Amino acid sequence: MTWLASFALVWAALVATAIGANIEGTISFPAGVAAPESTDGAIPSFQVVLDGGARSTLSKQDGHFIFHDVPAGRYTVDIHSPVYMFSQFKVDISASGDVRALEFKYPGTPKIAVTHPLAAEALVKVQYFQPREKFSAMDLVRNPSFLGLIVPIVLVWLLPKLTESMLDPEEFKQAQEEMGAVGDPQAMLKGLFGGGSGDAKDEEDSD
């Protein structure tokens, strides 16, 4: 009797394993992710891989995919795409054919219990190239080379006007005359070598 019971259990397990269950789901694109361009609105086919490549299939135009008669066990479901990133699913099929699924959105994120059939939404569209930066006047102003060039020009133009507004007109005129005298090379040489006193002496002798 014990032998018959053991044989019945083994036979039931073999039957359940042979029958298995279907693993299926649908690929979709939420509002925040741009869907692939299509003239007829159909979704292009994506390769869906079961358990790291043990079996694979292609999704249909409506995004649906299915693996038929999968034996009892634990499996991973991955959707391969060079353009979009999808969650990874881990599916458990019991001996009675019940299907339970967990979703892992990104590596290292907490698992999420989900229903079956699987709802595989695209998480993000992969960007391989960084958009080219556009010209901005603010970027030019913040450039140290530009500041080093434009600031002295502004100061040369602005300081005389500030000085003129701050000084009395007579004092400003006197300062201009002094600056003009200092700027004259002949006047500077005469001042250094006593040229001015010599000229005055010559004038007295001539008188």
Task: Specify the pLDDT at position 97.
Answer: 87
Query: Which CATH number fits the domain that encloses residue 74?
Result: 2.60.40.10
**Do 27 and 63 touch, CB atoms closer than 8 A?**
yes
- Based on the fold, state whether residues 89 and 43 are members of the same structural domain: yes
Q: Write down the pLDDT at residue 190.
A: 60
Domain range for 153 is: 137-183
pLDDT at 166: 63
pLDDT for res 116: 94
pLDDT of residue 1: 47
Determine the pLDDT at residue 151.
74
CB 120 within 8 A of CB 76: no
Residues 103 and 145 in one domain: no
Judge if 112 and 29 occupy the same domain: yes
- Residue 79, classed as helix, strand or coil, is strand
Closest CA to 87 of 101, 100, 74: 101
Distance between CA atoms of residues 124 and 38, nearest Å: 18
Per DSSP, the three-state class of 104 is strand
**Residue 90 domain flag:** yes
Domain count of the fold of the chain? 2
What is the pLDDT, as a whole number, of residue 96? 87
Partners of 104 in the β-ladder: 88
Q: For residue 13, what pLDDT is reported?
A: 52
At 10, which helix (H) or strand (E)? helix 2-19
pLDDT on residue 144? 74
Q: Which residues of the chain have pLDDT under 50?
A: 1, 16-17, 198, 200, 207
pLDDT in tens, 48-57: 999 988 899 9
Do both 110 and 147 map to the same domain? no
Whether 119 and 26 share a structural domain: yes
- The one-character DSSP state at 184 is -
Per-residue pLDDT at 193: 56
pTM above 0.75, yes or no: no
192 assigned to some structural domain: no
Same domain? For 50 and 145 the reply is: no
Verify that 120 and 32 share a domain, yes or no.
yes
